[in-house]
């Protein structure tokens, strides 16, 4: 790949970190950042439910690992602190995670859904608890598109030009992840503030028209 990349007139990377990696491999390559993005869309007009939503393809091992961590290390404490909340796992590949879910913890598995944006928009809090994998996370962009507050690990937010406690909340331990969810559950105004800031960042930086502008000077 190092020999091949300089032959292209332009190499697109989805984040500054990825662009730096390309240049380490092929210092003479011409590289530009072209982030993952979503088409412009209206915020789904649905009612918020007392659920925490994690959406993804559960055929993908990092998402399976995230569910195992949630079910064993995070959600039991959430159920103790927030008995009104349910965890909803949205997406295909549900057969790969059902065995990880203890009974009695109010964890729902939807399987494939017609419109993930609508399912995400119903969440009181949207989470991205990934501990492995790479690349930028469309699931966070989808949560911002639905104007939902996000709690994510540092790895899940990697590659996004966002700030902790402004556009989302970063938490990397079971204790901090659970506390962040519980505090947002108890604070509607904070949820609204985070959701609006995330949605604003999406519109400014991560919609198709916004990222197309990045290519205009090239």
pLDDT at residue 16 in the model: 86
Long-range CB pairs of 187-193, under 8 A, 24+ apart, other chains included:
190/149, 191/124, 191/125, 191/149, 192/149
Number of Cβ within 10 Å of residue 130's Cβ equals 24
pLDDT along the chain (218 residues), means of 10: 84 89 92 92 95 96 96 95 96 95 90 94 97 81 97 94 97 97 98 98 96 85
Three-class DSSP category at 90? strand
Helices (H), 71-149: 75-81, 116-121, 138-145
Q: Rounded to whole angstroms, how far apart are CA atoms 207 and 32?
A: 17
Alpha-carbon distances of 199 from 126, 144, 148, rounded to whole Å = 13, 5, 8
Per-residue pLDDT reduced to its tens digit, 46-73: 999 999 999 999 999 999 999 999 999 9
């Amino acid at each position: 790949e190092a020999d091949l990349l300089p032959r292209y007139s332009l190499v697109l990377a989805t984040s500054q970190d990825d662009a730096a990696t390309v240049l380490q491999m092929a210092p003479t390559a011409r590289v530009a950042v072209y982030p993952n993005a979503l088409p412009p869309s209206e915020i789904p007009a649905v009612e918020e439910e007392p659920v925490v939503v994690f959406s993804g393809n559960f055929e993908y091992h990092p998402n399976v690992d995230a569910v195992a961590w949630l079910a064993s290390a995070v959600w039991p404490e959430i159920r103790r602190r927030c008995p009104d909340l349910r965890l909803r796992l949205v997406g295909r590949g549900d057969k790969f995670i059902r065995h990880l879910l203890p009974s009695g913890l109010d964890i729902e598995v939807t399987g494939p859904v017609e419109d993930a944006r609508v399912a995400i928009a119903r969440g009181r809090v949207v989470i991205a608890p990934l501990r492995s994998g790479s690349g930028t996370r469309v699931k966070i962009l989808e949560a911002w598109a639905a104007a939902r507050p996000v709690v994510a690990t540092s790895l899940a937010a990697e590659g996004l030009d966002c700030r902790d406690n402004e556009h989302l909340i970063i938490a990397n331990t079971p204790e901090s992840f659970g506390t962040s969810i519980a505090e947002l559950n108890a604070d509607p105004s904070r949820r609204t503030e985070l959701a609006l800031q995330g949605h604003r960042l999406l519109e400014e930086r991560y919609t198709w028209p916004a990222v197309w502008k990045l290519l205009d000077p090239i």
